[in-house]
Every structure is written in C-alpha cells, then in structure tokens.
Structure 1
Amino acid sequence: MTLSRRLAAEFAGTAMLLAIVVGSGIMGERLASGNDAIALLGNTIATGAGLIVLIQMFGPVSGAHFNPAVTLVFLAKREMPPRAAMPYIAVQFAGAILGVWLAHAMFAEPVLQLSHKARDGLAQGLAEGIATFGLIGTILGVRRARPDFVPVAVGLYITAAYWFTASTSFANPAVTVARSLSDTFAGIAPASVPVFVAGQLAGTVAALGFFGWLLKEEPPS
C-alpha cells in the first residue's frame, strides 16, 4: 500500500474509534438515568466491539495502529521508518479530534468543547502506565503467536482494562488529547492530560523493554 493510503486508513480508523468512544459515552449517559456503572458498561462494550471491527477493517492497509504509542513501538523495533511513523502520529491526532467532533454533531452537542472532568493524581498516571503496558504486550505477544487473533485480543483487553484500571484505560495519547475536547461522559480535563500521557509513554517504554526481552528469539545453542 502507498503511504497516502496507509495514512488515510489511520486517519479514518482513529476518527471512527473516537466517534465510538465518545458517542457511546453520550448515549450511555443519556440512557442510564444517572447510573454511571451502566453508562460505563455501555461505553465499554461499544469500544471493545468497535476496536475488533476497526482493526479487522483497516489492519490490512495500515496495520491499524490508531495510537501513537503503538506507532512508536514499531518505530523503535525498526519495523517502521521515521518518514512513515511521524505522519502516522500526526494523522492519528487529527483523526481522533475529528472523531470527537463527529460524535458531538451526531448527538446535537456543541461541536467545540473543553472537558471539565478532572482525572488527577499519580494513581491515574500509574493506571495509564499499566493499561498501556498491557496493551503493547497484548499486541506484541499475540502478534507473534496468533497474528490473526490480534484484533480480538486488543478488543478484549481494552474491554477488561476499562474496568480493572482506575483511569478506565485510555492507553493512547491521541485519544487522551481528543477526549479533552469533549465535556461529556468520556471527557478528561486538559489539566489532567499530562499525567495520562506521561503514564502512557512510561508504560510504552516498559513494555518495549520487557516484551522485547521476553519474546526475543535466541539462536540455537
């Protein structure tokens, strides 16, 4: 595939992912009558299911990263050149923001917003580090053992991580920045973004080191 087609796939896929995340959050909150657990459950199911489909849809074209952390891992592993990785990251951020705006438009919300939902504290950053560590590990481990199962594995992992992490597992810098532009159920206050992104990058580095060592193929002795 040409780089332009790969970038188009990353842009469209990331936009659709954020439309799912934010749109299902709005729908869940409206239908749950104040029950945050029910709203989160609806948000979780839609996100996990959507990820499986989007990775299947766009994976053959771009690899379906939809996440700067994932792109940085493949850059570090030298499976992707910088001339492709940097544009990937740029379109992921742009697509994520567009997806948030589309979700707002679908639900007749103001398109331009800023979140007021604070998600502060070191515990939140730790949660994002763990969430991202697990996501990268899922991709690297399952990709080696059962590449065809990666879409399902990623969708299931994120579904679980919504509930076992204190942060509800953003695990994605582009998603984090885009969700700061939504004052809805899925939003995050802009002031909370740095600790989330720091946790995500720390989790990415830790996963790259640990799983790089764990899955390294040793020459026969």
Structure 2
Amino acid sequence: MTPTLRARVTAELVGTALLVATVVGSGVMATRLTDDVALQLLANSLATGAVLVALIVSLQPVSAAFNPVVTLAEVVLRLVTPKAAGALVAAQVVGGALGAVIANLMFDLDAVSIATRERTGSGLWLGEVVATLGLLLVVFGCARAGRTDAIAWAVAGWIVAAYWFTSSTSFANPAVTIARTLSDSFAGISPTSVPMFVLMQVVGGGLAVALLRLLHPTPSPLEAPLD
C-alpha cells in the first residue's frame, strides 16, 4: 500500500526533527562532558550515525529522505512529483527548525539562539560538494543496486566518515544547515554562512545524479511518478 502524502510529510517532519535534535543535542552534551574537540566531534558523529540508522530503518517504508537535496534528486529521478516534493521539503525545513528548538530546550538553553560560528572558505565549500555528492551516490546507488535494505547502514557509514574527512564536517543537507543556525552551540553555523553551504550542497546533488546515471544507467523499478 502506497503511503499517503500526509503520511510522508509527517514522516519527513518528525524524522528531520529527531535528526537535528540529535545533531545539536549531542554537540551540546559533548561540549559539557569534555574540552577535547576531537572527542566532541567523535561523540557528535557517532550519535548522528546511530540516529540515522534508527530513523531510516523505521521510517523508510513511509518516507525517509530528511534532506531537500535528496528530495530534489527524487524529482529528477521521477520518484516524486514536484508538487509532492514541495510539501516534503517544507516539512523537512520546519522539522529541522523544530528539532533545533527541542535540543536547545532539553539542555536549558534559550529556545532559539542564533549561531555565531562562521563556516566559510573554498575548502569548506568543496567539502560540502564532496559530502553531498557522496551521500546521494550512496542513497541512490544502493537503490539502483537493489539494496534498499542497506541504505540505512550505508548512509550512516558515509555520514560518520564524512564528519571526519571533509573540511566542513559534512552538513550535506539544506534543512539541517538552516536548522543549525538556531543554536549557538558546537553544531551551530552562522546564518551568513548558510547560502554558500546550501548552494554547494545543491551542486553536489546535481553531480551525484549525473554520476548515478553513468554508474547505474538502469533505473530502479521504483523510478516512476507517485502522486
């Protein structure tokens, strides 16, 4: 039975909220437990990878993109219609913001505190291209290889690794990037740094779709419009 658009929107909102709550909350917890930046990043990356496995496994039968770039790629690959994608992206952005607020409140911080951490420069922008390109190749490569059951583990593995090997620590998600402006904490990003991050994420997504068509030229049976 095909999930309704309402169910898919709900899954995207809740899933993105819990993802961002984990990213922000684990960052706050890590900085409270240790002053070692490497340990802080390790805690943040492991928590993010773990929650991705849990959320994708549980919500994948309904909708588990949690990422506007993934959803836009699904439009290009005829997995969702533009109309449905608009609703899903809106849910992701709203869910991400809600997750940041929840994380702040859990740690007795202001519900919204605009991040002041500047993340800018060509190296970080290239890092976002690489992080997003790899993420989409993993997601859609698994799908076209008939390994949808492996997507959760593959995505988590990529994100944990990309936290460490990309200069930007792998945001790779416009909804998460926007949400992280709402917490002036370890995971925060200044609003002025967001436009280039999002642009580079879109560039990475576009490159990933082009590579996907070269590496996996046969579409999966799912690649037809839904509703």
**Matched residues in 1 for 2:218 and 2:73: separation?**
18
Q: Distance in 2 between matches of 1:29 and 1:160?
A: 20
Identity of aligned residues (%): 47
Structure 1 residue ranges without an equivalent (≥5) = none
TM-score normalised over the length of structure 2? 0.93
Q: How far apart in 1 are the matches of 2:208 and 2:53? A: 22
CA RMSD across the alignment: 1.0
Moved more, 142-151 or 196-205: 142-151
Q: CA-to-partner distance for each residue in 1:46-86, whole Å, 9 max, x for gaps?
A: 00000000001111111x00000000000011111112100
What is the aligned length? 216
Match of 2:190 in 1: 189
Separation of aligned partners in 2, 1:172 and 1:182: 16
Q: What's the counterpart of residue 223 of structure 2?
A: none
What pairs with 1:55-204 in structure 2 (closer than 5 Å)? 55-62=56-63, 64-145=64-145, 146-204=147-205
The aligned amino acid for 1:86 is G
Q: Aligned with 1:72: secondary structure?
A: helix
What is the deviation of 1:122? 1.3
Following superposition, the deviation at residue 217 of structure 1 comes to 2.7
Aligned to 2:212: 211
Check the 8 A contact 1:122/1:195 in 2, yes or no. Answer: no
Out of 187-196 and 162-171, give the one that drifted further. Answer: 187-196
Contact 1:48 1:156 in 2 (8 A): yes
State the partner residue of 2:27. 25
1:45 paired residue number: 46
Paired residue type of 2:169: T
Judge conservation of contact 1:75–1:85 (CA < 8 Å) in 2.
Answer: yes
Structure 1 distance, partners of 2:136, 2:213, is 11
Q: 2:60 aligns to what SS in structure 1?
A: helix
Deviations 1:145-178 (A, max 9, x none): 2110100000111000000000000000000011
Which 4+ stretches in 1 moved above 4 angstroms?
none
